[in-house]
């Protein structure tokens, strides 16, 4: 049996697929001077003991690693294959150079998509010597082991795309979700900290809006919840947070929590 470890969570990015500000946008949130309204693509860094794992590496991965002065991670766990969650994979090159092969964990479908997008990484012969070196770990909808940690996938739907959320001990991270079946919700029983997406105020075809996210949080009843994968259409960070329930917080880039 794996003993509980102290977890440190860093929100590397909390924005939607275009980030905030959006290129060329004159929306007031995109013009905000508040650093909490500036959001890179969504990702988290999870640390315990000497281990560091990232969930998703989008196109801002390099910037996020530099900001956090992070020169080593032990693996990347993917929720799904959309570009804002995988497009930073090439930027693991220096991490591979310093630390050796990078473990990646994903659904078989996601691995297939990554292989198509980054075929040069997976070439068996005549591989370019500067390409990243990865070790593939296919995950299914059942618990899998990391060093001193068991991870429980939470299966969910992102419109027509299957996605995984992940539970690490008393912490769960779910992004890009629209529906979750009852048997998967059961996996979140007695969670202490829940992270879930809340894209905007009005409904969206493939993401929770704010009302849906709050309903989901009320169903799960964690001690604390954090909202992520946020677009400019949710509103100004400070204004939104004032209206949230007392145990619900709007995550922001660089936020760190421990449990």
Q: pTM for the whole thing?
A: 0.97
3-state SS of 104-152? EEECHHHHHHHHHHCHHHCCCCCCCCCCCCEEEEECCCCCEEECCEEEE
1 falls in which pLDDT band (50, 70, 90)?
very low
- Domain membership of residue 38 (yes or no) is yes
Residue 3 — very low, low, confident or very high, per pLDDT cuts 50/70/90? confident
Six token digits for residue 134: 């990865």
Tokens of 135: 């070790």
CATH code, 39 = 3.60.15.10
Residue 71 CA to residue 94 CA, distance in Å, equals 8
CA angle 11, 17, 19 (to 5 degrees): 65
pLDDT digits (tens, 9 = 90+) for 9-35: 999 999 999 999 999 999 999 999 999
Q: Is residue 2 pLDDT above 80, yes or no? A: no
Alpha helix (H) residue ranges in the chain: 61-67, 83-86, 93-99, 108-117, 182-185, 210-220, 237-242
Is residue 154 domain-resident? Answer: yes
> Residue 199 and residue 217: Cα distance in Å, rounded?
15
Instruction: Flag whether 3 is in a domain.
Output: no
3-state class of 212 per DSSP? helix
Label residue 127 by pLDDT band (50, 70, 90). Answer: confident
- The whole-number average pLDDT for the span 110-117 is 97
Domain-located, residue 2: no
Residue 141, in any domain of the structure: yes
**Domain count across the chain:** 1
Between vectors from CA 199 to CA 110 and to CA 38, what angle results, nearest 5°? Answer: 95
SS3 199: coil
Is the residue at 35 inside a domain?
Answer: yes
Mean of the pLDDT values across residues 68-77? 97
Rg (CA), the chain: 18
Q: How far, in Å, CA of 194 to CA of 231, rounded?
A: 19
Asked if residue 220 belongs to a domain, the reply is yes
Asked whether residue 182 is domain-assigned, the answer is yes
Query: Is the per-residue pLDDT at 102 higher than 90?
Result: yes
pLDDT in tens, 196-237: 999 999 999 999 999 999 999 999 999 999 999 999 999 999
Print the domain residue range for 250.
8-258
Least confident of 73-77, 121-125, 152-156, 202-206: 121-125
- pLDDT for the residue numbered 128: 85
């Amino acid at each position: 049996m794996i003993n509980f470890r102290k977890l440190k969570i860093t929100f590397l990015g909390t924005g939607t697929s275009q980030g905030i500000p959006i290129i060329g946008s004159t929306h007031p949130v995109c013009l905000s001077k508040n650093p909490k309204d500036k959001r890179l693509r969504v990702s988290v860094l999870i640390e315990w003991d000497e281990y560091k794992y990232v969930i998703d590496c989008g196109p801002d991965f390099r910037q996020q690693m530099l900001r956090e002065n992070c020169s080593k991670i032990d693996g990347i766990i993917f929720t799904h294959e959309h570009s804002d969650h995988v497009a930073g994979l090439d930027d693991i090159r220096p991490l591979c150079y310093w630390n050796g092969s990078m473990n990646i964990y994903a659904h078989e479908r996601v691995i297939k998509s990554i292989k198509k997008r980054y075929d040069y990484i997976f070439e068996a012969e005549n591989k370019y010597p500067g390409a990243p070196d990865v070790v593939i770990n296919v995950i299914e909808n059942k618990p899998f082991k990391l060093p001193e940690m068991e991870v429980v996938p939470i299966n969910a739907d992102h419109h027509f795309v299957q996605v995984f959320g992940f539970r690490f001990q008393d912490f769960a991270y779910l992004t890009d979700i629209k529906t979750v079946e009852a048997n998967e919700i059961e996996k979140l029983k007695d969670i202490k900290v829940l992270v879930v997406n809340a894209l905007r105020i009005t409904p969206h075809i493939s993401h929770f809006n704010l009302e849906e996210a709050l309903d989901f949080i009320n169903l799960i009843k964690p001690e604390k919840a954090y909202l992520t994968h946020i677009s400019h259409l949710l509103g100004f960070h400070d204004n939104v947070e004032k209206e949230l329930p007392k145990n619900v917080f709007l995550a922001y880039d660089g936020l760190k929590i421990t449990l």
